[in-house]
A and B are shown apart, each in its own frame.
Chain A
């Protein structure tokens, strides 16, 4: 199959300092096929695609395009070869229109003046290729994330991209949006575009992929067909069997509520009441925009709320006061660890220590020895994989970074964990470890309120499910009686009811 390959990475190697990140990896991309890159965080997927994109240069090995060896010294060269990368962080200017974004850097001109009509035509053509019915004069910032992603793909196509690299494109999309994206991918297949697809969601691989390249610790493990059973893929990826993807060990819930929220209202949230008992994991499910993140943040003290009360162990918390919430035993693992959870330039120890810094200080002096010891203890307990505790947390893999955010609250002795998408962008192995942490918290008499968009996670790790819709709690289900369908039915209740009726 190597003869007709569009792009081949042939035994490429890359090391950063003493660490071999990519070790003789061979990957092929074929026209009209989706080649999946699968591996845990830190397996080398990102480095590999950065080589294709011209961000990193291979230390050894060859890169072949249409059978000819090519050099990709920088991103310009990659673009010139017809390679486009859609990163998780999109390269669009929010304040500019779709047309301006698609023609960015190559604006059509006439007599030195921007030819707006031509610009719109190019953009229209690019959108039509994907069957996107959007007004090209809409500012990109007004679009949802999924649509922005499609605009970026359209932009790549209008640059005549032959190879499209999709780096975790589905991580922040809802199921409906993912279906839309996959439709576009299938169209691109028929147009002969070769694609590289990265995802942590095993179910997506069978849905969209043609074959799967498995990486582990920078080494090439195998290329297998996309219809390989999931547990086989997991075994290849982590090198061992993972007994259970969702190892929830239910604890007997206590009698008194540990966390109770009464009639909380703010913005889209209306009169939310809920309670969580010690030993319980309560999941917050719902569509994007249902208000899960807003609710978690309000409880955590991160945002103001207009009315209502939040109590921890019967004691009322002041609103919008994270420090008071922390003292009361709340711990908040926010939605996006990079922008909200971590100080990326600071060390692992410092990041773990922020919540305990003030409470352990004497006369304003940081308890440096104690902070370090606590961080080391927590890092060992959570099995955070790192060189040493003083290393910048930026250099850790996503799963280990996320564990450090958990570690902050473990070290602070939090009894109530508020989790917002706790395993987003985290690989299978680290996911299970995070689930085990959740079990630990509940076994020791703590409780967890977990907002999650992943229904398998909701069903696998919670004891009760609260389904939110349009800023309200639409219903409550016992997890052992809930199904994906029953959750979705509640999640869409009252949403666009007229639309649905009209279509029928």
Chain B
């Protein structure tokens, strides 16, 4: 109730910077620790490796950021990644249709799946958790049906997504470009601003004339398209679309968004934060691999990191509000 003026700007407020960029500081500390623990961490090939590894999760998480900002959750992204990779490969390899369209087909399928989830939740009034949980199973099932449970070789276009452009791996290029696009859409367009308003207070947004249902559908379509892109990068790297591709990735994507400072109750989130969140996960996995920590223990560590990162964030918010 009390009005609180903001601190006047005087020089660099280190405390405020720390509070607002906790994930970034964490990432830097993590990188330093990894560098001290093993010099192999800070080598060109290893960094490229991290870049490629982070790209699939990060691209998926960019789309997820839209849904979470709008106070939703999308559990279907892993399955959507698989079905998009599968249909784009089927299009070329099995159906023999022009390869040039395969990526577009994959993205369209992703968008369509997202639209279905969004419509179920906006018009069918299902909670987004349930709608996307249903789609997780439905879409994974369809992927198995299409592929008959067997991998399909990717077409040239999709394979190119997992390849190199000169010295630069294409996944990293896609990561950068899609990140810029996502940030632009989230911060500068009506779509993004509406997502923030709907996530912050659905009723207030509706009473201000914002088309809440359309916004909800749109964020799921965006999430579906990014998931599709992520799935095709993954298939491109393997030169084949597996029916089990990207299963469980939805949890990593959600973790990346949340570590990046977004709130699951909606209205808060940044693409840069999501990228940092994805990098934190990738650096930990990579570092633990370099240190030959067993894959079993890695899971324990990652779980702890998620809990600690979000715990810090909750504490920070508590101190800001009164």
Contact = CB atoms under 8 A, between A and B. Distances in A.
A16 B207 CA distance: 33
A47 B2 contact: yes
A344 B209 contact: no
Nearest to B187: A366
A56 B321 CA distance: 12
Given A364-B190, A387-B6, A42 B208 contact: no
A366 B3 contact: no
Contacts of A334: 204, 207
B189 A45 contact: no
A368 B188 contact: yes
Interface in A33-68: 41-42, 44-47, 56
Contacts of A386: 3, 5
A365 B209 contact: no
Given A47-B1, A56-B322, A395-B3, A354 B210 contact: yes
- Quick one: which of B1, B5, B210 has the most chain A CB within 10 A? B1
A340 B204 contact: yes
Nearest to B191: A364
A377 interface: no
B292 interface: no
Interface string B209-228: 11100000000000000000
A130 interface: no
Contact of B3 (A42, A327, A341, A365): A42
A358 B201 contact: no
A142 B194 CA distance: 36
Contact of B207 (A45, A47, A341, A358): A341
A334 B204 CA distance: 9
B196 to A, nearest CB: 7
B7 A17 contact: yes
- Quick one: which of B2, B188, B197, B268 has the most chain A CB within 10 A? B2
A262 to B, nearest CB: 23
Contacts of B197: 343, 346, 350, 354
Contacts, number: 120
Interface in A334-385: 334, 339-346, 350, 354-355, 357-358, 361, 364-366, 368, 385
A42 B268 contact: no
A342 B209 contact: no
A302 B267 contact: no
Nearest to B206: A322
Contact of A364 (B189, B203, B209): B189
B26 interface: no
Nearest to A50: B322
B203 A339 contact: yes
B208 A344 contact: no
Contact of A302 (B200, B206, B268): B206
A10 B158 CA distance: 73
B188 A322 contact: no
A344 B201 contact: yes
A354 B209 contact: yes
B205 interface: yes
A345 B209 contact: no
Nearest to B8: A18
A79 B13 CA distance: 38
Contacts of A218: 2
A140 to B, nearest CB: 23
B198 to A, nearest CB: 9
Contact of A354 (B4, B7, B205): B205
Contacts of A339: 201, 203-204
A363 B193 CA distance: 14
A21 B321 CA distance: 15
A325 B208 CA distance: 10
Nearest to B1: A46
Contact of B1 (A19, A302, A397): A397
Given A322-B206, A342-B204, A368-B188, A44 B2 contact: yes
B207 A302 contact: yes
A343 B190 CA distance: 16
Given A366-B188, A368-B188, A343 B200 contact: yes
B209 A322 contact: yes
A341 B211 contact: no
A302 B212 CA distance: 12
Contact of B2 (A46, A344, A364, A391): A46
Nearest to B2: A21
A339 B5 CA distance: 23
Given A366-B188, A366-B193, A19 B207 contact: no
Contacts of A341: 204, 207
Contacts of A471: none
A325 B209 CA distance: 8
A326 B209 contact: yes
A355 B208 CA distance: 5
A388 interface: yes
Contacts of A350: 193, 196-197
A358 B209 CA distance: 9
A322 B6 CA distance: 34
- Quick one: which of A343, A365, A397 has the most chain B CB within 10 A? A343
A302 B191 CA distance: 21
Nearest to B267: A345
Contacts of A396: 3
B210 to A, nearest CB: 6
A132 interface: no
A361 B188 CA distance: 10
Contact of B4 (A327, A346, A387): A387
A45 B322 contact: no
A16 B4 contact: yes
Nearest to B199: A343
B1 A385 contact: no
Interface string B1-36: 111111100000000000000000000000000000
- Quick one: which of B196, B209, B267 has the most chain A CB within 10 A? B209
A268 B82 CA distance: 51
Given A16-B322, A357-B193, A345 B205 contact: no
A120 interface: no
Nearest to A325: B209
A199 interface: no
Contacts of B6: 387-388, 391
Contacts of A327: 209
B125 to A, nearest CB: 15
Contacts of B201: 339-340, 342-344
A191 B83 CA distance: 71
A199 to B, nearest CB: 14
A41 B205 CA distance: 25
B3 A385 contact: yes
Contact of B200 (A18, A346, A368): A346
Interface of A: 16-19, 21, 41-42, 44-47, 56, 218, 300, 302, 322-323, 325-327, 332, 334, 339-346, 350, 354-355, 357-358, 361, 364-366, 368, 385-388, 391, 394-398, 400, 408
Given A343-B196, A397-B1, 19 more contacts: A21-B4, A42-B1, A42-B2, A42-B3, A302-B206, A322-B206, A322-B207, A327-B209, A341-B207, A342-B204, A343-B201, A343-B205, A354-B204, A354-B205, A355-B208, A357-B194, A358-B190, A365-B188, A395-B4
10 contacts: A19-B5, A334-B207, A340-B207, A354-B208, A357-B194, A358-B190, A361-B189, A364-B189, A385-B3, A386-B3
